[in-house]
A and B are shown apart, each in its own frame.
Chain A
């Protein structure tokens, strides 16, 4: 499943549509500590987190995850959204907890 295909399912709220829409999502990845995500987030993964600040986007960009899903319906600041757009990162928002969101993505990947 590519990022574009995930977007087209319209399961999650679209926050920003980035550059790498044709990137194949490899797996979901869950982590809220940025330094751990920095060292461990697999390139091409779909990163599910509740940590929604501009530094999350820096980590997403540097680790080259396919997209970010902000879980638990966390409120997003304007600066976060504009930075996501500016950096070309696809960000979605889920009202579900981290595990449920990642599990749903995993199920979609297995389809």
Chain B
């Protein structure tokens, strides 16, 4: 990608459903202020939120870096969580390993990764059991 216009960094707290989504909200507001088209803002906001909430639910929080460039928005979500056992299954709509507590809050529909794939132009998952997961999401502007 071309040089980033703006690089943002966020810390995601584990198991904190009160603040979950704040990083995605902040990125959304910044993109809006920078004048990005609404469809692009929506794609970034949705795909990033799903990643962020996954870090809260499954991965003891983590770090998110977002690079906003002229031709793309790239979010890298890095956690030191348990890793994804079966990426193929996790990608299936409706498959979820979320707890009852998380389900009672309205999550755990098994749409997280499918939504991330649907709303990004490029998604890469690097995961290692017991070490963590890094998800890279790219939304292209053209």
* B-binding residues in A (CB < 8 A): 32-36, 38-39, 43, 51, 53-56, 58-59, 61-64, 79, 87
**8 Å CB contact of B106 from A43, A51, A62, A64:** A51
The answer on a CB contact under 8 Å between B25 and A62 is: yes
Interface residues on B, range: 20 to 34
**8 Å CB contact of B111 from A35, A55, A63, A79:** A35
Cα–Cα, bound, A30→B104 (Å)? 17
Q: Which residue of A lies closest to B110 (CB)?
A: A35
**Shortest CB–CB separation between residue B75 and chain A, in angstroms?**
14
Q: Which residue of B lies closest to A51 (CB)?
A: B106
Cα–Cα, bound, A13→B5 (Å)? 44
Cα–Cα, bound, A36→B118 (Å)? 12
With A35-B50, A62-B49 as contacts: A54 and B107 at CB distance below 8 Å = no
**8 Å CB contact of B109 from A36, A54, A55, A61:** A36
Most chain A C-beta atoms within 10 Å of own C-beta, residue among B45, B108, B110: B45
Q: Which residue of A lies closest to B32 (CB)?
A: A64
With A35-B115, A39-B115 as contacts: A58 and B106 at CB distance below 8 Å = no
**8 Å CB contact of B49 from A33, A36, A38, A56:** A38
The answer on a CB contact under 8 Å between A33 and B20 is: no
The answer on a CB contact under 8 Å between B24 and A62 is: yes
The answer on a CB contact under 8 Å between A33 and B109 is: yes
The answer on a CB contact under 8 Å between A58 and B25 is: yes
List of 6 A-B pairs having minimum Cβ-Cβ separation, nearest first: A58-B21, A35-B111, A33-B109, A34-B106, A51-B106, A39-B115
